A and B are shown apart, each in its own frame.
Chain A
Amino acid sequence: MGTGDNWDETDMSGIGKDNEAERLEDYLEFERHLERLQQEKRPRRPRRMTSGQAKAYQMAALFRSAAPGAAEPDLAFAARLEAQLEGKLKSRGRRFRSLLPAPRSGSMSRRSLLAGGLSAAAGIAAGAVLGGVIEQNLSASQQAATWNTPLVGLGKDWLAVGNAIDIVPGQMLQFRTDTVVGYVFHNDEAPATEDGQPEPEWIAMSAACTHMGCIVAWNSQDRNLHCPCHAGTFTRYGTPASGSQNYLRSLPRMQVRVQDGKVWVQAPATLSGASFSGDVDGG
């Protein structure tokens, strides 16, 4: 132990004593614990611990997670876990009783169509999202092709997310439901896409980055959506910005309409009987 490890009580003037009895060994053991955390390794189990000490250990974990970039899942891990879960899903026969409300009997509702007939298309969207984990190079046309793909094929509900008059042209409004976080963009220009189609006045899209699912944040200065996890950037139309990761796909679009002064989006359905809180955050 070097000289720096000598406990110099005089240096602790002004630092309040803790009520619980503390021993030098406790501090050293705690430091060894922190060293393991810094190495991103499983710490060794402490020998004994009071309630107060245990809370200090818990607090250390919380503070570790606040370091920039510390608490983001590794890409290889995400892909590995995805493959593991896929295997388990297949072993269960690929189908489950639903988390969602059942379609009404006696008619082929839009929900049942979405849950069934569009499942392949929904799969493209979902696959596109998870496909980003395994890096793929996509052409602009391939990226754009995901726009019109349904976000999730689990059934949809029309939900009011805000008043149209409150969304200034050129600005983005974030909304949140039990199943999705998204943005509504009030388009203030009408540029043509690659195939010559103008953008609509109202655009709604998922806020989940197509790389790892982190929620992108709207920057009103550069008018782009930025992923906080791996610096992916999307334009206000949901397409990957130039210079962003070339394996990104566009943010999936959602159906949107304005009626009776309100902006409605067609969001993935909530669970059976689940409450829905349509809180709207100003973007």
Chain B
Amino acid sequence: MRRRNVEQAERAGAEREPDGDAGAGRGTEKPPAAAAEIDAQSFRTLYQENLGVVYRFVYSKVGNREEAEDLTSQVFVKAVRGLDRERGSQSIQSWLYQVARTTIADYWRSFYKVRATSLESMLEQGWEEPAEERVILVSYKPEERVRRILDLLPPHYREVLTCRFLLNLSIKETAERMRLSEANVKVLQFRALKKAAEVE
């Protein structure tokens, strides 16, 4: 994989507009506070580009469509409300990601009754997501993260989680396949998920 950081090159004053039209490119000076305007069509494009990744991110935190749709809607409604606020140097995607994280944190507080008043205090209590999640949404791939976790688990934990979640087998089907009782599958899947949280 070839990787290239254009930002560094531009900081060094290299790789400007190839046709010399530097006036239309991004200058190094800060733009004025009152900037240009975008319209509803532009927001549509923002929505189109990011709906899938925001939804996938949210779904990976709640695990069901009903809540994923509710929370994804909240993220985009907040995005509409916050469009004209100052965002400093944040990109659109990292800003959306921040909105999504805050929305999820509110959800956690409500659902798990976490006694925390802020996202920061929640993070201090171990609610921080793995560092690798702190990437731009477009490259967020929960299935790859799950694969990595599975590789770190003992075989019986890996098998029960694969049966229950990736193969979508029932408790009964999983029990038959693993030659365990149904009750033991319930115990095993719970412990496997706790272990998964530990190994990551």
Contact = CB atoms under 8 A, between A and B. Distances in A.
Contacts of B147: 66
A117 interface: no
Contacts of B17: 158
B146 interface: yes
Interface in B22-54: 23-27, 30-32, 34-45, 47-52
A208 B90 contact: no
Given A126-B44, A127-B44, A213 B166 contact: no
B30 A63 contact: no
A200 interface: no
A88 B76 CA distance: 11
A254 interface: no
Given A272-B89, A280-B4, A111 B24 contact: yes
Contacts of B193: 55-57, 59-60, 63
Interface string A25-60: 011101100101111111101100101111111111
Contact of A100 (B38, B40, B44, B49): B38
Interface string A57-84: 1111111111110111110011001101
Interface of B: 1-7, 9-10, 15, 17-19, 21, 23-27, 30-32, 34-45, 47-52, 55-56, 59-70, 72-73, 76-77, 80-81, 83-84, 87-94, 111-114, 125-126, 136, 138-139, 142-143, 145-147, 156, 161, 164-166, 168, 171-172, 175, 180-184, 186-191, 193-194, 196-197
A179 B66 CA distance: 29
B74 to A, nearest CB: 10
B3 A271 contact: no
21 contacts: A31-B186, A36-B64, A42-B67, A55-B126, A59-B196, A66-B146, A92-B80, A97-B34, A101-B35, A101-B36, A104-B23, A111-B36, A112-B36, A123-B44, A152-B45, A153-B41, A257-B18, A262-B15, A262-B18, A278-B6, A279-B5
B138 A181 contact: yes
Contacts of A109: 23-24
B60 A52 contact: no
Contact of A274 (B59, B81, B89, B180): B89
B45 A269 contact: no
Interface in A146-166: 151-155, 157-163, 166
A12 interface: yes
Interface of A: 2, 4-8, 11-12, 14-16, 18, 20, 22, 26-28, 30-31, 34, 36-43, 45-46, 49, 51-68, 70-74, 77-78, 81-82, 84-86, 88-90, 92, 94-104, 107, 109-112, 115, 119, 122-123, 125-127, 129-130, 151-155, 157-163, 166, 176, 178-181, 208, 212-215, 229, 257, 259-260, 262, 264, 269-282
Q: Which 6 A-B pairs have the closest CB atoms?
A: A278-B6, A61-B63, A4-B182, A64-B63, A123-B41, A55-B197
Contact of B89 (A43, A56, A229, A273): A273
A239 B131 CA distance: 38
Given A27-B186, A63-B193, A66-B166, A154 B44 contact: no
Given A61-B63, A101-B26, A274-B91, 18 more contacts: A4-B172, A4-B175, A5-B186, A6-B183, A7-B187, A12-B188, A56-B190, A59-B193, A63-B196, A64-B60, A73-B52, A97-B83, A123-B41, A158-B21, A208-B49, A215-B52, A274-B89, A276-B10
A42 B42 CA distance: 33
Contacts of A126: 41-42, 44-45, 48
Contacts, number: 367
Given A40-B64, A107-B23, A280 B42 contact: no
B181 A125 contact: no
Nearest to A17: B191
B52 A212 contact: yes
